[in-house]
Amino acid sequence: MRNIGLMDDLEVAEIPDSLPVMILSGVTLFPHGYMPLFIFEERYRDMLRYALEHQRMFCVGHARPGIDHDEHPELVYPFTTAGLVRACVTHDDGTSHLMLSGLQRVEITGWEQDGPFRIASVNPRSSLINNRDAVTELAHAVVDLCSRLCDQNVPMTNQLREHLRGIRDPAALSDVVAQNFVNDPFDRQVLLETIDVHERLKFLAHHLSCQAAKDQG
pLDDT tens for each residue of 56-113: 999 999 998 877 766 777 889 999 999 999 999 999 999 999 999 999 999 999 999 9
Domains of the chain: 2-124 (2.30.130.40), 132-216 (1.20.58.1480)
pLDDT band at 9 (very low <50, low <70, confident <90, very high): very low
Query: Strand, helix or coil at 68?
Result: coil
pLDDT of 90: 94
Q: What is the pLDDT of residue 157?
A: 59
Q: Is residue 18 predicted with pLDDT exceeding 90? A: yes
Please tell me the number of Cα atoms within 13 Å of 202 on its side-chain side: 7
C-alpha distance from residue 121 to each of 15, 18, 106, 137, 142 (Å): 11, 4, 10, 37, 34
pLDDT score recorded for residue 51: 97
- Look at residue 29 and tell me whether its pLDDT is greater than 80: yes
CB crowding 42-69: b at 16 or more within 10 Å, else e:
eebbebbeebbeebbbbbbbbbeeeeee
More confident: 17 or 67:
17
Q: What are phi and psi of 106, to 5 degrees?
A: -140, 155
pLDDT at 156 over 70: no
pTM above 0.85, yes or no: yes
- Identify any residues that bridge with 119 across adjacent strands, giving them in sequence order: 20, 113
Average pLDDT over residues 21-33: 94
Q: Does pLDDT of 125 surpass 50?
A: yes
